[in-house]
A and B are shown apart, each in its own frame.
Chain A
Amino acid sequence: EVQLVQSGAEVKKPGESLKISCKGSGYRFTGYWIGWVRQMPGKGLEWMGIVNPGDSDTRYSPSFQGQVTISADKSISTAYLQWSSLKASDTAMYYCARHRTYGSGNPCTMDVWGQGTTVTVSS
């Protein structure tokens, strides 16, 4: 079974650092980009960026460039999303998703999703 399993919920204080993970299984991890999507409480979906686990190439939405770091370790089939200094406005649910293309165009159709990681930032 193809699946993405994310790390557990986090509660942090403003200014702290954080790294959450997303482990893929059931497919060739290096064959697909992995990306992250934010969903703030009661709001819609926001695409953050993607990483190619094969060569660690990354692409970011301008809204998130410089705010987070996306990476992957292909040896353990795991992608990461990290912050160096959290803000209260980072409080949200974060989903990882396998990205693919169905023949042409950007590899950004999300066909498999993780269960989500809740991040709460509060003093």
Chain B
Amino acid sequence: EIVLTQSPATLSLSPGERATLSCRASQSVSNFLAWYQQKPGQAPRLLIYDASNRATGIPARFSGSGSGTDFTLTISSLEPEDFAVYYCQQRSNWPPGFGGGTEVEIK
């Protein structure tokens, strides 16, 4: 089973700053990696699929990169609504699984 490790666990930033979130896989997942955002009391929302493709309706300030075992989600300039928890998820191997999450909090 592939293990996804996200870092840091918490990221403290101010609105307007750049956020860089990391996801590392225990073995290659090719580009079969997605990113989700979850706000308190809400269901997760798909942001990025297949490492670098924005899902429908996702603002351009969100971007994904990487392949193999190392992936990055970048938020170019944080808006107030971006403070949330972010999860990566792989679909390369069964079972698909999630990383432990990174919380982006207001500094």
Question: Is A62 a contact of B46 with CB atoms below 8 Å?
Answer: no
**Chain B interface, >50% SS class:** loop
Q: Mark A92-123, 1 if CB is under 8 A from B, else 0.
A: 00010100011001111111011110000000
Closest chain-B Cβ to A116's Cβ sits at a distance in Å of 6
Residues 31-51 (chain B) with a chain A CB within 8 angstroms = 32, 34, 36, 38, 43-46, 49-50
Q: Is the CB of A111 within 8 A of B50?
A: no
Instruction: Specify which of A37, A46, A105, A110 is in contact with B46 (CB 8 Å cutoff).
Output: A110
* Size category of the binding interface on chain A: 20 to 34
Interface size for B (C-beta < 8 A) is 28
Min CB–CB distance A82 → chain B (angstroms) = 19
Q: Is the CB of A45 within 8 A of B91?
A: no
Complex interface bits, B69-102 against A, C-beta within 8 A gives 1, otherwise 0: 0000000000000000001010111111111110
